[in-house]
Amino acid sequence: VAKAIKEVSKSLEMSFSIVPDDTDAIQCKLREWSDQGVALILTTGGTGMSPRDVTPEATRAVLDLECAGLMSFVTTECAHQQPLASLSRGTAGVRGQTLIANLPGNPKGVGEVVPLLLPLLLHAVADLQAEQ
């Protein structure tokens, strides 16, 4: 993920954390980082359709505002080339001053999503910070 993101934006400060496929663990980390005022949190993985894929639900539960249309646009654009991209259930939205978005776990999927998604996320982050 970091590699795909660095190709788009080289100036970001980044932290990483690996959390288990567990609703509480995911929500806890999202709350911790958003409460610290992190501008953007990207999750990767847990967006499929097996019982352990709980990332979208865990994310939605901590969001103040969901922006379903953002992932819907990006997924639809990617699915136009690769229809299986439509099986990814990721969402995006805002918690406090933090933008959160779910990337797929598959590195190929991330490589397709990030070039389209990241400029939009950075625009939304700039808008959110201009509000303060």
Q: Is residue 76 at the binding interface for its own copies, with CB under 8 A as the rule?
A: yes
Given the complex with its own copies, which of 5 and 58 has the nearer CB atom?
58
Angle between helices 23-35 and 55-62 (to 10 degrees): 40
Interaction mask 36-75, its own copies, x per CB under 8 A: ------------xxxx-x---x------xxxxxxxxxxxx
Distance between first and last Cα of the chain = 29
SS3 19: coil
Q: Minimum distance between the CB of residue 48 and its own copies, rounded to whole angstroms?
A: 7
| C-alpha–C-alpha distance, residues 92 and 60, integer Å | 8
CB 102 within 8 A of CB 110: no
| C-alpha–C-alpha distance, residues 3 and 33, integer Å | 21
CB 101 within 8 A of CB 90: yes
Given the complex with its own copies, which of 3 and 80 has the nearer CB atom?
80
Q: Is residue 88 at the binding interface for its own copies, with CB under 8 A as the rule?
A: yes
Q: Is residue 93 at the binding interface for its own copies, with CB under 8 A as the rule?
A: yes
Count of residues in contact with its own copies, rule CB under 8 A: 41
Q: Is residue 108 at the binding interface for its own copies, with CB under 8 A as the rule?
A: no
Q: Is residue 21 at the binding interface for its own copies, with CB under 8 A as the rule?
A: no
Cα 65 to the chain's mean position, in Å? 14
Q: Which residues bind its own copies (CB under 8 A)?
A: 48-51, 53, 57, 64-77, 79-80, 83-90, 93-94, 99, 116, 119-120, 123-124, 127-128, 131
